Amino acid sequence: MSQDPNARSGPGFNRRDFIKGSGAAIAATAAVTAAQEAIAQDAPAKISTAGPHKVTLQVNGKTHELMLEPRVVLLDALRNDLNLTSCKEVCDRSACGACTVLIDGKPIYACTRLAIECQGQKIETTESLANGDGVDVVIDKFVEHDGMQCGFCTPGFAMAVRGFCNMHPKASKEDCRKGLGGNICRCGTYDGVLNAAYEAAQKGGA
Ligand code: FES
Ligand code: FES
């Protein structure tokens, strides 16, 4: 007895269903391929090369035009290209705060921020805390309270304090303690830094 090849004998596929399904799959594949080709044709205009690009940075009130590869982090641009060596590389992974600088008045870790991302923003390093003959109140308070030990942590702490005071003038001591939680001092000079931060905060933002 001959059997209709398209007859459905159960819940599974018959041959017609299979051929219809295959046709749909082929059509879908063709559509995807066409879309990929369209993307590929657009691609050259959108891809940036990894070679050096002109990057304009505003640092401590001055505009600098640098040629930097897109992979260069802000910390390296500041230290290697602008000779601003107050920001330090210690952990290189957003864990210690030694590389802290201000961007638009807020503390950030320069070791994990791409320089190219910082164009059009106001960048400040610890060097900015010395202005002409005077120094920022943060430096005065660090000296007064002996808030420094080694040269690796102190500059980052100073910028963290300056950024904290900008954002939280008149902060309480407890708020200062929490606000400085992103910086580590391995020698334990926290109390001095805390007292300096508290007194600087009472003077308000920069
Ligand atoms: S060096 Fe950037 S957070 Fe430690
Ligand atoms: S200031 Fe660097 S370890 Fe304390």
Q: pLDDT digits over 90-125, tens only?
A: 999 999 999 999 999 999 999 999 999 999 999 999
What DSSP state is assigned to residue 48? P
| CB atoms near residue 194 (< 10 Å) | 19
The pLDDT mean for the chain works out to: 86
Ligand that comes closest to the CA of residue 153: 2
Residue 102 CA to ligand 1 centre (angstroms): 14
Question: Quick one: pLDDT at residue 148?
Answer: 83
99 lines ligand 1 (CB under 6 A): yes
Q: Which of 54, 46, 182 is nearest to 115 (CA)?
A: 54
pLDDT tens, 13-45? 455 554 555 555 555 556 656 666 656 666 666
Distance 144 CA to ligand 1 centre (A): 26
Kindly list the domain boundaries of the chain, sorted by start residue.
12-47, 53-202
Q: Can you give the pLDDT at residue 203?
A: 87
Does residue 175 register a pLDDT over 50? yes
Tell me the per-residue pLDDT of 136-167, one tens digit each, with 9 for 90 and over.
Answer: 999 999 999 999 889 999 999 999 999 999 99
pLDDT confidence band for 9 (50 / 70 / 90) = very low
Q: Tell me, in angstroms, the distance from the centre of ligand 1 to residue 153's CA.
A: 10
Ligand 1 atom closest to Cα of residue 184: 4
The angle subtended at Cα 132 by Cα 141 and Cα 119, nearest 5°, is 90
Rounded-to-integer distance, Cα 38 and Cα 27, Å: 17
- Dig out the tokens for 194 from the structure: 């805390």
Q: What percent of the chain has pLDDT over 90?
A: 68
Rounded distance between C-alpha atoms, residue 149 and residue 154, angstroms: 7
**What is the Cα–Cα distance from 198 to 201, expressed in whole angstroms?**
5
Superfamily of structural domain 53-202: Beta-grasp domain (3.10.20.30)
How many percent of the chain have pLDDT more than 70? 76
